[in-house]
Amino acid sequence: MEQNIKRIIAELKKQNILIIAASKGRSVEQIRKLYEQGIFHFGENYVQEAEKKIKALQDTKIVWHFIGHLQKNKANKAAALCNAIDTVDSFELAKKLNEQFQKQGKTGKVLIQVNISGEEQKQGCKPEEIETLLENIQKLKNMVCEGFMIIGSREKSLEEFRRMKNLFEKYKKQYHLTRLSMGMSETYQEAIQQGATEVRLGRILFQKE
């Protein structure tokens, strides 16, 4: 298993792709082991769970991403805990996060989560709402939007990655976007082919031998 992880790290490093280990439900020990193998970015889905792990691993240089649906009442805590919030889907949430970043005297890094598949059960802003949200976030003094994040559907992932890449290219120059987070364990290779700059991997990094 360790050899497999090393192979994945080497393969993606060669392509300049950032790996975010999706560590929801994983133990502090499992995270530490991956960190020691060369994974430095981890993504958590729940604020309470993230808080415990971040506290237990404060001796490391892990970069923590929030990659789950973020409720507005948890925004302050998430902004204080994490290095990046990758699931901003509304201006209301962005404003809430910005207030907390302001209190901390820092500029927070965020991604806009886009519901590219249009599935009702998925979070994210609609593709046609992207430009307005980008414009509004640009007005916030303590926040910078670095790009987009999507959770593709399994059936149409290739098509969705392609569409998202086109949207990324459309807004990249005007809004100085550098990050496109697409693809998980089952689809990361397709996502990279379609222009992802980072992938969120869980199962293939944490599975037992």
Write the CATH number for 29.
Answer: 3.20.20.10
Q: How far apart are the first and last CA of the chain?
A: 5
**Which sign, positive or negative, has the C-alpha torsion 63, 68, 74, 75?**
positive
pLDDT of residue 96: 98
Report pLDDT digits (tens) over 21-65. Answer: 999 999 999 999 999 999 999 999 999 999 999 999 999 999 999
Continuous H helices in the chain: 2-14, 28-36, 47-56, 75-81, 91-104, 130-138, 157-175, 188-193, 203-206
Residue 193's domain comprises: 2-206
DSSP 114: B
| Residue 132 to residue 134: CA distance in whole angstroms | 5
pLDDT of residue 208: 63
Confidence (pTM): 0.95
Q: Please state the domain count of the chain.
A: 1
pLDDT of residue 149: 98
Low-confidence residues of the chain: pLDDT under 50: 209
